[in-house]
């Protein structure tokens, strides 16, 4: 079992549905069970625990924002790679999550 407190560094945290969905997708890509604790509220997930869409809604319900401290608990056969993938994502060190960049364009002259 891996247990660690983390300060979330993803811009906008896990509040946007896309961020929560990516996080849950990462959970479901492994076989371990994951528990997220914020302010005494607990959400559990992983294969055979609940449907991914239900877990996404529950993760969003924790209202995890950038700068929030959470406890991440991972247990199972692949707990270490699962934990590393989730930690990288939450600390914004995972290059699969890139913030949207809007380029400024010049107006077209007619």
68-97 pLDDT per residue, tens: 999 999 999 999 999 999 999 999 887 554
Lowest mean pLDDT among 3-17, 55-69, 83-97: 83-97
- Measured CA to CA, the distance from residue 61 to residue 36 in angstroms comes to 12
Q: Name the pLDDT band for 102 (thresholds 50, 70, 90).
A: very low
The model carries a pTM of 0.81
Domain 2-90's class? alpha beta
What 3-state class would DSSP assign to 51?
coil
pLDDT recorded at residue 46: 77
Show the tokens assigned to 94.
Answer: 């995972």
Domain locations in the chain?
2-90
E strands along 1-110, which residues? 2-7, 33-38, 41-45, 69-75
pLDDT at 66 over 90: yes
What is the predicted pLDDT for the residue at 26? 92
């Amino acid at each position: 079992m891996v247990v660690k407190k983390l300060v979330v560094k993803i811009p906008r945290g896990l509040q946007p549905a896309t961020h929560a969905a990516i996080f849950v997708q990462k959970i479901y890509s492994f076989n371990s069970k994951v528990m997220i604790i914020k302010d005494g509220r607990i959400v559990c997930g992983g294969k055979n625990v609940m449907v991914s869409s239900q877990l996404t809604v529950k993760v969003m319900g924790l209202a995890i924002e950038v700068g929030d401290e959470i406890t991440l608990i991972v247990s199972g056969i692949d707990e270490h790679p699962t934990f590393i993938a989730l930690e990288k994502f939450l600390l914004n060190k995972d290059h699969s999550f890139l913030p949207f960049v809007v380029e400024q364009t010049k107006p077209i002259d007619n």
